[in-house]
Amino acid sequence: MQRKLSLLLFASFSLVSCRGDGPAVTVCLIDSVNNSLQCSDADGNVTELPVADAGNYVCLSPDDFEVLLNYAKKRCE
């Protein structure tokens, strides 16, 4: 499971940052079972962050995130 999560986070981050000139973004997925965020930074490092410590983070539904990914794909063509 951790390997799949890491791969998903890395792929999402790579897609959003295809040109390399955008802001540094940390992509996180909510792990509701453990009440934490599983996050990946620009270097592909995966960390766990308790939800209580997740200030200044934005949460998107899968549909909204798909809209952003599609936008990024178009910008990367």
Q: What is the pLDDT of residue 70?
A: 81
Q: What is the pLDDT of residue 10?
A: 55
Residue 27 pairs in a beta bridge with 40
List the domain boundaries for the chain: 2-75
The secondary element (H helix, E strand) that includes residue 49 is strand 46-50
Q: What is the pLDDT of residues 50-77, one digit of tens each?
A: 999 988 888 878 888 788 778 877 877 7
* Residue 62 C-alpha from the chain's centroid: 11
Q: What is the pLDDT of residue 36?
A: 92
Q: What is the pLDDT of residues 2-46, one digit of tens each?
A: 555 555 555 565 555 555 666 677 788 888 899 999 888 778 888
